[in-house]
Amino acid sequence: MLGKGDHHQPQEEEEDTGGVVKLISAEGFEFVIDKKAAMVSNTLRNMLTSPGGFSETRQGEVRFPEIPTHILEKICQYFYWSLHYSSGKETAEFPIEPEITLELMMAANYLDT
Amino acid sequence: MSGGGPPRKRNFKIEAFKHRVELDPKYAERTWKVLEHAIHEIYNHNASGLSFEELYRSAYNMVLHKYGEKLYDGLQNTMTWRLKEISKSIEAAQGGLFLEELNAKWKDHNKALQMIRDILMYMDRTYVPSFHRTPVHELGLNLWRDHIIHSPMILSRLLDTLLDLIHRERMGEVINRGLMRSITKMLMDLGPAVYQDDFEKPFLAVSASFYSGESQEFIECCDCGNYLKKAERRLNEEMERVSHYLDAGSEAKITSVVEKEMIANHMHRLVHMENSGLVNMLVDDKYRDLGRMYALFRRVPDGLSTIRDVMTSYLRETGKQLVMDPESLKDPVEFVQRLLNEKDKHDKIISVAFGNDKTFQNALNSSFEYFINLNNRSPEFISLYVDDKLRKGLKGATEEDVEVILDKVMMLFRYLQEKDVFEKYYKQHLAKRLLSGKTISDDAERSMIVKLKTECGYQFTSKLEGMFTDMKTSQDTMLDFYAKKSEELGDGPTLDVHILTTGSWPTQPSPPCNLPTEILTVCEKFRAYYLGTHNGRRLTWQTNMGTADIKATFGKGQKHELNVSTYQMCVLMLFNNADGLTYKDIERDTEIPASDLKRCLQSLACVKGKNVLRKEPMSKDISEDDTFYFNDKFTSKLVKVKIGTVVAQKESEPEKQGDPPTG
């Protein structure tokens, strides 16, 4: 795990949703990812496309007081994995360490992803 | 809990949330309050200060901890309360602003609804299906429908406003179509039932009474053509209206209203309108009006059949008058030409205005079939028409033109019931044309035969074709005859024989007459020659069919060449040996039958300009006591004088040629 600060993920796909969004974990770690990756989560997609200008869209960042850093990191990895393999060209398993499974599931449920 | 064993896996504890969530109702109530506040803020256009995540999480928590029902009910109540407030503000709107206010609030509501649904997504996904509640978005629409649209103050006002605007647009005003579009779209979004029951049904009813009134007004003051123009215009208007601001499903319904009120209800009156109805349009070739009528009437049941029936009875009536008119019977060629003109006229109408509709073609055909056969001389007249064309009418015409005319004639031919009568006359006329050499084009003749053959089969035309063959064969025979026998014949009269196969040609029995000696000699030579080459045949001279060219010298030495019939030749030759002869002398010497002889003498002695004989007494008719003298004093401006035979009946006989000169 890297220390505090920006944690850039490799950019797998083109940025055609224009821009990035910052996800902040419970401990305050900031993950900057492409909007396209974030939209893998239906909840995040709704959030980012909802009309009416909630504070998140205006500031371009979302805080998750309930999601621990290591889970959030895993989730970001999942977003990119999903984008990469959604084209169906290759398949690979998404590695999940057993000890984080439950937390990951709950976060996934929360984020509808 | 650490212990023995490899420290590879760390033991995990399940701690769902960092922040402890309490499960008591008070917490639920507080959480709800947060959401309730948010909903109000959203409706107040104040969402910018809100955190999506926080609200989402609050809803998530409530549902997770089994407070879904509270959340849902709370949502429902809050929205309902909100909508009631909105309803009051809409009701308060003045006059023209009513629709705009409604539209604006609808837009707001939609936006708010979406935001609310987004933050309550978890509930929508999990609680709603499990407990069979209406999803949020649908709930929002239903509440709008119930508390706004169906609020008594608003519903009637909405409908009245919409209908009033439509009425004004129909009367020529310009209205805000965009606004109309939004409103009708709103109604459709609320459910097709809302659109149909709250708007479309009353709309159709009002439209029906509008058009009923308007059509009544128009039909009193407009002629048929103008009325149809107006109807068409209204129809197009309605279709355009639908495309701009009504739901597409309304198109068929409103057009059917207009069709019924403006067209179907007035069909008969329009078609039979005096001075401007269907018959007048047909007579005056009003293609555009007819086309319009066709297009409009097509839309209503029995529309086209109404047009067709009136057209048919008109055709039958005019056709009948045409064929029964005693004037036109005097000139067969004109008679047929008028029929062809009628056919052309109506063909064009059907093609230009009625889109080549087959049923109309059929009606035209059946009408022609009906009246052409009312006159039993139609077959004869059609044959005479062709005869005229092939003799002179088509002179100088191109091959195409010939084909066109013949094809048109064939169309009339097809209508004939008595086709064999036609064949009989055609044969007669053809024989005459062939024997007198008076056909303008062999190709045209043959083309006609081919068409008849195609239409009626080989049997029908076999004799006609035989006639052509005979003509050709005769030519070859004559060439051969003169080639072989020229020395023998010397300076005798020149003979041109057409050998007609009995059975192919229409012949009448020909009693023999006495030919002059010179002629007889050369005729017998030909007979000998012919029978020499053709065994088992019999030749009979048709003396009633021939012609002769005679050179005659008159009193002062003027020479003329006379073209006469065979009978006339026999009579004239007698005067080589005598200056005067009585009727009885002539009859005895020539043995020509009495009626033919009388006509023959009449044409030689009683016709001005052609009187090569002088009769005593100078009466008009031939009597058996008359005496005839060679007319020394005969004069004519022409060198070659054709002396026809006075015609006894309409059907004149075909002729056979012979050229004996005499001095």
Name which of B111, B121, B122 is nearest A51 (Cβ-Cβ). Answer: B111
pLDDT at B113: 93
Q: Does the pLDDT at position B566 exceed 60?
A: yes
- Low-confidence winner among A19-33, B11-25, B41-55 (lowest mean pLDDT): B11-25
CB of A52 within 8 Å of a chain B CB? The answer is yes
- ipTM for the predicted complex comes to 0.81
Give the whole-number percent of chain B exceeding pLDDT 90.
50
Interface test with B, best of A1, A22, A41, A54 (most B CBs within 10 A): A54
Q: Which domains does chain A have, with CATH numbers?
A: 2-111 (3.30.710.10)
Q: Which residue type does B356 have?
A: N
Asked if B480 and B440 touch (Cβ cutoff 8 Å), the reply is: no
Look up residue B417 and give its two tokens: 């019931």
CB of B109 within 8 Å of a chain A CB? The answer is no
Q: Strand order in B546-553's β-sheet?
A: B640-642, B559-565, B546-553, B656-657
**Separation of CA B397 from chain center:** 28
State how far residue A90 is from chain B, nearest Cα, in angstroms. Answer: 31
Q: Could you tell me which of B439, B431, B445 has the C-alpha nearest to residue B501?
A: B431
In chain A, residues with a C-beta closer than 8 Å to the C-beta of B49 are: 55
DSSP alpha helices (H): ranges in B92-200? 97-119, 121-122, 128-130, 136-144, 152-170, 177-189, 192-194
pLDDT digits (tens, 9 = 90+) for B267-312: 999 999 988 999 999 999 999 999 999 999 999 999 999 999 999 9
In chain B, residues with a C-beta closer than 8 Å to the C-beta of A46 are: 118, 121
Peptide bond preceding B25 in cis form (omega within 30 of 0) = no
Q: Which long-range contacts (CB under 8 A, 24 or more apart) does A74-79 make?
A: A74/A100, A74/A104, A75/A41, A75/A104, A75/A107, A75/A108, A75/A111, A75/A113, A76/A9, A76/A23, A76/A31, A76/A33, A76/A37, A77/A9, A78/A40, A78/A113, A79/A33, A79/A37, A79/A38, A79/A40, A79/A41, A79/A113
In Å, what is the CA distance from B199 to each residue of B142, B155, B161, B204, B213? Answer: 17, 10, 11, 9, 21
In chain B, residues with a C-beta closer than 8 Å to the C-beta of A110 are: 57, 60, 122
Confidence label for B15 from pLDDT (cuts 50, 70 and 90): low
Give the whole-number percent of chain A exceeding pLDDT 70.
82
State how far residue B168 is from chain A, nearest Cα, in angstroms. Answer: 37
The residue of chain B with its CA nearest to that of A111 is B122
Q: Does the pLDDT at position B13 exceed 70?
A: no
B400 CB burial (10 A radius; 0-12, 13-18, 19+): exposed
Give the whole-number percent of chain B exceeding pLDDT 70.
94
CB of A59 within 8 Å of a chain B CB? The answer is no
Confidence label for B575 from pLDDT (cuts 50, 70 and 90): confident
pLDDT at A11: 44
Interface test with A, best of B118, B119, B124 (most A CBs within 10 A): B118
Average pLDDT score over chain B: 87
Backbone angles phi, psi at B397, to 5 degrees: -80, 155
Look up residue B521 and give its two tokens: 């000699």
Q: Does the pLDDT at position A8 exceed 50?
A: no
Q: Which residue has the higher pLDDT, B635 or B171?
A: B171
State how far residue B55 is from chain A, nearest Cα, in angstroms. Answer: 10
Asked if B66 and B130 touch (Cβ cutoff 8 Å), the reply is: no
Confidence label for B663 from pLDDT (cuts 50, 70 and 90): very low
Contact A56 B47 (CB under 8 A): no
Which residues are paired to B342 by β-bridges? none
State how far residue B152 is from chain A, nearest Cα, in angstroms. Answer: 31
CB of B47 within 8 Å of a chain A CB? The answer is yes
Q: Could you tell me which of B110, B40, B24 has the C-alpha nearest to residue B74?
A: B40
pLDDT digits (tens, 9 = 90+) for B18-41: 555 556 778 889 899 999 999 999
B504 CB-near residues (< 8 Å, 6+ apart): B463, B464, B466, B467, B470
Q: Which residue type does B419 have?
A: K
State how far residue B15 is from chain A, nearest Cα, in angstroms. Answer: 8
Beta carbons within 10 angstroms of residue A94's beta carbon: 10
